[in-house]
Amino acid sequence: MPATALAVRPSRLSARHLPHLVFLVAAAGTLVRLVELNNELCWSVAPPMAVLALLYAAGPAPWERLGRAGRPVWFGLLLLLWSWVAWVLPTPLTFGYAWLAVPLAVLALRMPTRAERAVALGVLTVLLMAALVRAGGGLDPDLLAPPVTALWATVLLYRGQQRLTRELADTRGELARRQREAGRLAERARIARDLHDTLAQELAGSRMLLQAAERDWDRRPQAARRQVRLVTDALGDHLAQTRGIIDDLTPPALARDGLEAALRELTARTGSAAGAPGISFSAENPPAALPVEQAVALLRVTQGLLANACEHARATHVHVTLIQGGSVAAVEVRDDGVGFEPEPVRSATSRDGRGFGLAGARERLGALGGTLTVDTAPGHGTRVRATLPVARAAEDRVPVGAR
C-alpha cells in the first residue's frame, strides 16, 4: 500500500497493513540517521535505501497486477537491495536495519507457491544471519537469536492468522447459507399462514354458500341465486386477495381503506354466509397509524379466528373489537359458543390439517413481538385477543381507521 494511502485513510489500518507500516517507518528512520551522519559512505547508501523504500511501497498496492511471475521478481529485488544496504551500513546502524527482515518475512508468505515461500524465507534467514555476523564480527548466538527468533515467530503467527481468517471466512459463508435457508423456510411458513388465513378460509366459505344454494335451488330459487351472487362476488375478492399475496401480501381493502375498514368488510362478508353466526364489529379509540406489516398480521389473525368460530364454536353471535391507543394495537374476537378445554399449543404443522390455527396465529404475532391470549372453558364461549406493540417509525404505515 502506498505511504500516501496510509496517511489519508488511517481508519482502515489493520493487522494486515501493520508490517508495511513498520518497514516504511524503520526505513525512514534509517535514512534520517544516514543524513545526520553526513559522510561519503552514508550518502552513497542513502539513494539505494530510498529506492528500497519506494520499491517496497509500490508493491502491495498493485499486488494482483504483479502476477505469478512478477511477485517473485519484485521480492527478489527487495532482498538484493536490503541485503546490500545491510552489508555496507556502519555497524551501529546494521543491527536496527536488520529488523526489516520481519516485515519482509510477511511478504515472503505471500509468494504464489509453497516452494517459492520456502525459498524466500530460507534466503531471507541466511541473509539476515550473514549481516548480523558481519556486524558482530563473528558468530554470536546472543546476537543472532533475537532477530531470527522474531522473524520465525512472525512467520508462525502470520500463518496462524491466515488460517484463522480462512476458517472465519468459511464460517461466515456457512452462517450466511444457513441464514438464507432459515429465511427461505420462514418465508414458506409465512406464505402458508397467509394462504390458510385468506384463500383457504374464503374458499371454505364459498363452498358452504354453494352447498346452501344447491339445497335451496328448487325450493327457494331466489335465495339460491342470492347465495350464488355472493359466491361470485367473493370469488372476485379471492382473486384480489391472491394478487395481494403476490404484491407483498397486502390485502387490497387494507391498502386502500385501512385496518378498521378491512375488518368491517371481513366481518360483514363472513357473517353473510349461510349458516354463519351473527358477527358484529366495533372499534375503540380514534383511528391511528399502523405499520403495514402489523396491520396485515392483525387482519390475517382475525380472519383465522373468525373461521374457527364459524366452523367449530357453534356460536350464535361473534363480536370483533379493534383496540388501538398507546403503545399497542389489538383485535379481540369473542363468541358465545361451546368453548373448549385449553390445551398446549400444537405445532404449526400438526397432522390433523388444522395446524395453522391458533399455533400459526401465535407464530405470526410472535415474529412481530406480539402475543395471543385465549380465555375459554367448556360451555362458556371463547375470547381470543391478538396484541401487537406499535412501532414508532412513521414510514410504511397504513391508517388504522381510514375511510
Q: What is the pTM of this model?
A: 0.43
**Burial class (CB within 10 angstroms; exposed 0-12, middle 13-18, buried 19+) of 240:** middle
pLDDT given at position 233: 76
Most trustworthy range by pLDDT among 10-24, 83-97, 261-275: 261-275
Asked if 60 and 78 count as a contact pair (C-beta separation under 8 A), the reply is no
On whether the CB atoms of residues 294 and 388 are closer than 8 A, the answer is yes
Which one of 53-62, 161-170, 283-292 scores highest in mean pLDDT? 161-170
Q: Quick one: which of 134, 152, 156 has its CA closest to 143?
A: 134
pLDDT at position 251: 64
pLDDT at position 317 over 90: yes
CA–CA dist 217, 223 (Å, integer): 8
What are the angstrom distances between the C-alpha of 217 and each of 74, 231, 233, 348, 354?
A: 93, 15, 19, 39, 32
Mean per-residue pLDDT for 282-308?
A: 84
Residue 385 near residue 373, CB atoms below 8 Å: yes
Q: How many CB atoms lie within 10 A of CB 390?
A: 19
Q: By CB neighbour count within 10 A (0-12 exposed, 13-18 middle, 19+ buried), where does 279 fall?
A: buried
| CA 309 to chain CA centroid, nearest Å | 39
Share of the chain above pLDDT 70, in %: 71
The second-level CATH assignment, the architecture, of 177-399 is 2-Layer Sandwich (3.30)
Instruction: State residue 334's pLDDT score.
Output: 94
pLDDT at 187: 67
* 397-399 and 278-284 strand pairing: unpaired
Q: How far, in Å, are 89, 125, 131, 136 from residue 139 at the CA level?
A: 18, 14, 11, 7
Lowest mean pLDDT among 75-79, 184-188, 324-328: 184-188
Cβ–Cβ < 8 Å for 396, 292: yes
Q: Residues for the chain: how many in total?
A: 403
pLDDT, one tens digit per residue, over 349-396 is 443 434 356 887 888 888 888 999 999 888 889 999 999 998 654 444
pLDDT at 146 over 70: yes
Q: What are the extents of the domains in the chain?
A: 3-139, 177-399
Indicate the range of 50-54, 154-158, 191-195, 247-251 predicted with least confidence.
247-251
Res 343: pLDDT = 64
* Whether residue 248 has pLDDT greater than 70: no
Q: pLDDT above 90 covers what percent of the chain? A: 9
pLDDT at 52: 74
Contact in structure between 281 and 267 (CB atoms under 8 Å): yes
Residue 94 has pLDDT above 60, yes or no: yes
Least confident of 17-26, 87-96, 146-155: 17-26
Q: Where does the pLDDT of residue 347 fall: very low under 50, low under 70, confident under 90, or very high at 90 and above?
A: very low
Residue 155 confidence (pLDDT) above 70:
yes
Q: What is the pLDDT of residue 230?
A: 81
Q: What is the mean pLDDT of residues 137-141?
A: 74
Chain mean pLDDT for the chain = 75
What are the distances in angstroms from CA 393 to CA 46, 292, 367, 400? Answer: 64, 11, 17, 15
Residues 6+ positions from 244 with CB-CB distance below 8 Å: 198, 250, 251, 252, 255
Q: What local confidence, expressed as pLDDT, does residue 279 receive?
A: 92
| C-alpha cell read off for 112 | 504464489
- More reliable by pLDDT, 314 or 237: 314
- What local confidence, expressed as pLDDT, does residue 21 receive? 67
